[in-house]
Amino acid sequence: MKKPVLAIFLAMGAAALAHAAPPAAGSTGIGIKDYPWQAETGEKSEALERKGNRKRGEVLYALCRSCHQPSAGGHSDGSIPQLAGQHSSVLIKQMADIRAGLRDSPTMYPFAAVLSDPQGLADLAAYLEGLCIPLEHGQYDAQDAVQQVANGRALYDKECRVCHGVNGEGSRYKLYPVIAGQHYKYLLQQMTQIRDGKRRNANPEMVRIISKYNDDQLIAISAYQSSLVMPGKVCKVRGPARKL
């Protein structure tokens, strides 16, 4: 896309952001039956069936770069998640759920609302999925890190590994997200919200499992999850510049 066209696109996006507001949130009394885990929306189903175009997705990502970073690595403080290397199916589901009001994210909604059609969802998701996972991300770094990671591994192997995989690779076909390379604080925040009934589009099975964990156990699981590495998906280490 040529620069003048990109400038017009970004200007249109900025105008849409100024007026976008999320759909009204649902009731606050949430039970498992109220979680729209696989709730179908027309654009979600259509986007999942479409082949994404990474070049078009890169252009669309221009609206996301300021928050999620050029690398799509987010922020280590957990305020912005790491998206690079995430399954396109998971990204489509989350963006569509935010647009439909099934996942409450007032900060993200105006940006997701700018995407005009299911193809835009597929394109942006394809671009992000193709990015390598940054090596540097927020991890649990307190004095008891070794013990917390060990505790978290025991819990993870018992009930999380079957869905999220040995290396935190998830499943694109079952819509289980990649958690390897994700920031510790973001993982802890999301698991706490799921446990406390604040993630309305969470998988009911995860809600069932996670509901019994206390804060210390969630810290341990998040510490271990953030330590996971996916073989072949992380960005290559750049060597020192060669002297001429």
Beta bridge partners of 133: 234
pLDDT at 48 over 80: yes
Instruction: Say what the pLDDT of residue 187 is.
Output: 98
> What is the SS3 assignment for 131?
coil
Instruction: Give, for 114, the enclosing helix (H) or strand (E).
Output: helix 109-114
* Type of residue at 93: K
d(CA 123, CA 50): 9
User: What's the whole-model pTM score?
Assistant: 0.84
d(CA 146, CA 87): 29
> 42: closest CA among 103, 121, 124, 128?
121
pLDDT band of residue 20 (cuts 50, 70, 90) is low
d(CA 164, CA 79): 22
d(CA 83, CA 239): 25
Of 2-11, 17-26, 149-158, 203-212, where does mean pLDDT reach its minimum?
Answer: 2-11
Token output for 136: 């540097």
pLDDT in tens, 64-120: 999 999 999 999 999 999 999 999 999 999 999 999 888 988 889 998 888 878 999
Q: What domains lie within the chain, and their CATH numbers?
A: 3-21+30-129 (1.10.760.10), 145-225 (1.10.760.10)
* Type of residue at 155: L
